[in-house]
């Protein structure tokens, strides 16, 4: 049986997925899946999972993204991005939260990031290399208005959530028998990845991005793939304490990480017997 992991969007609500995968790595190890498909904020937890660094990704979400460290509206006064992905990706290359790049690429599992092509608006599924992995991390989380489009190998990309926020169908299309999906949305949540925020910012953005945001609002969204054969979804059983994708309150972030840890513990026995 071939198994794939899918982990998707949510901004700082990605703390839930970080908790899930930190605990998953401790229980099942980093080689449980044959492939990891990650979109938007999911690229961070998915990559550290494959690197066998559960403590590092948990520490990052508990201690390095709260307050104004990652999200700061005042950054615009200094011509810096509101969402400071450079700070986060730099941390992944420094000792305080360093990604073991060698371990990622020695893993027997494939790693696939979703990015949105700036010109066509279509999803692009890319397997990063040691040379472009950090730039692709920026690209897959480049939320319009709060972070600029990112160039990688001559192409321009935006946040993967604009075109495929939870790439369940891509994983199934590639022939995986079992797909485990991590979503930070409780059951029944099918709203746009960017919500009313996109209506507010659209008039200030280039026409190509306005079109992408409108399409995101109009699209009928995947609810975690729970009705699809071979798909098992891990999600919160209630609304997260985090009030929005940009909520950087330290207490609420820590509680969200813990919710992810507890969610994994609650399904570990079930999955051990079914996959």
Q: Tens of pLDDT along the chain (275 residues)?
A: 999 999 998 999 999 999 999 999 999 999 999 999 999 999 999 999 999 999 999 999 999 999 999 999 888 778 788 899 999 999 999 988 999 999 999 999 999 999 999 888 889 999 999 999 999 999 999 988 789 999 999 999 999 988 888 999 999 999 999 999 999 988 766 555 555 555 555 554 556 666 666 665 555 455 666 678 889 999 999 999 999 889 999 999 999 999 999 999 998 877 666 65
Res 96: pLDDT: 83
Three-state secondary-structure class, residue 173: helix
Gap between the Cα atoms of 231 and 6, Å rounded: 10
**How many CA atoms lie less than 13 Å away from 250 in the CB half-sphere?**
9
Q: Pull the structure tokens for residue 268.
A: 């570990």
Gyration radius from the chain CA atoms: 17
Tell me what pLDDT residue 224 has: 66
Which residues, at least 6 apart from 266, have a Cβ–Cβ distance to it below 8 Å?
none
Half-sphere exposure (Cβ direction) of 65: Cα atoms closer than 13 Å: 34
Burial 88-125 (b: 16+ CB within 10 A, else e): bbebbeeeebebebeebeebebebbbbbbbbeebebbb
In eight-state DSSP terms, residue 121 is -
Alpha-carbon distance 267 to 147, whole Å?
Answer: 36
Rounded CA-CA distance 186/224 in Å is 9
Separation between Cα atoms, residue 198 and residue 216, nearest integer Å: 9
Confidence (pLDDT) at 47 = 98
């Amino acid at each position: 049986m071939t198994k794939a992991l899918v982990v998707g969007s949510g901004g700082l609500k990605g703390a839930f997925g970080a908790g899930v995968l930190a605990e998953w790595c401790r229980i099942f190890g980093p080689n449980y899946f044959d492939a990891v498909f990650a979109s938007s904020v999911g690229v961070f937890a998915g990559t550290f999972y494959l690197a066998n660094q559960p403590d590092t990704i948990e520490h990052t979400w508990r201690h390095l993204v709260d307050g104004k460290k990652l999200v700061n509206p005042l950054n615009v006064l200094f011509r810096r991005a509101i969402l400071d992905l450079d700070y986060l990706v730099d941390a992944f290359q420094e000792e305080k939260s360093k990604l073991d790049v060698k371990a990622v690429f020695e893993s027997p599992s494939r790693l696939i990031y979703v990015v949105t092509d700036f010109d066509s608006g279509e999803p692009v599924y890319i397997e990063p290399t040691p040379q472009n992995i950090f730039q692709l991390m920026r690209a897959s989380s480049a939320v319009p208005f709060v972070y600029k489009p990112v160039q990688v190998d001559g192409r321009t990309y935006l946040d993967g959530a604009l075109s495929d926020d939870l790439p369940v169908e891509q994983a199934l299309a590639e022939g995986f028998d079992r797909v485990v999906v991590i979503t930070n949305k409780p059951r029944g949540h099918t709203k746009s990845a960017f919500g009313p925020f996109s209506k507010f910012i659209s008039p200030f953005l280039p026409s190509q991005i306005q079109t992408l945001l409108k399409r995101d609002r109009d699209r009928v969204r995947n609810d975690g793939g729970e009705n699809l054969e071979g798909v098992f979804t891990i999600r919160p059983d209630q609304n997260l304490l985090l009030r929005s994708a940009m909520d950087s309150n330290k207490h609420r972030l820590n509680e969200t990480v813990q919710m992810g840890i507890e969610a994994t513990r609650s399904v570990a026995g079930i999955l051990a017997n079914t996959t």
